[in-house]
Amino acid sequence: MNEESFEKLHGFFIEDLKVGQKAVFKKKITENDINQFSLVTGDDNPVHINEDFAKHTIFKKRIAHGFLSASLISTVIATKLPGPGSIYLKQSLKFLAPVFIDEEISVKIVVLEINNEKKRVKLLTECFKSDIKILTGEAEILVNSKKET
């Protein structure tokens, strides 16, 4: 691949990022998403896949896997901010509320810190349903420099 093609496919370089920069992604969580996530990961906890079981839990119905919502953070980092070429190094997560079938999740990423020397970016990573925060955390991402392409 030539340099021009690489840069065309590449997301933001470290020099392009600014503290406060944001990206958002929305996805409706479907029953199929939950079932497929269960199959892919092997997490077949009945609170996710069995309505009769879930009726007897504190949630009273099936909930999405917490890491299904969290995986959407990776979607934003990999495709939008910083985007293609960035490498995930670290992620903290705190789960605050459940997600039910057919609820829309909004993932919001905000650049908190930029370390040009180490080519690392710290991001605030949050997920919401309506105005309710369901997940919060921080990520550390390695981002290429234009000087090295």
Task: Choose among 102, 23, 40, 98: nearest CA to 66.
Answer: 98
Mean per-residue pLDDT for 34-56?
A: 96
The domain tally of the chain equals 1
| Alpha-carbon dihedral 102, 103, 104, 106, rounded to 10 degrees | -150
Q: Model's pTM, two decimal places? A: 0.91
Domain span at 72: 3-148
pLDDT at position 147? 80
CA 32, CA 29: separation in Å to the nearest integer?
8
Q: Measured between alpha carbons, how far apart are the two ends of the chain, in Å?
A: 12
Give the confidence band of 149 by pLDDT, cuts at 50, 70, 90.
Answer: low
Side chain identity at 10, as an amino acid letter?
H
User: CA geometry: angle at 76 spanning 73 and 78, to 5°?
Assistant: 105
Coil, helix or strand at residue 20? coil
CATH number, domain of 122, equals 3.10.129.10
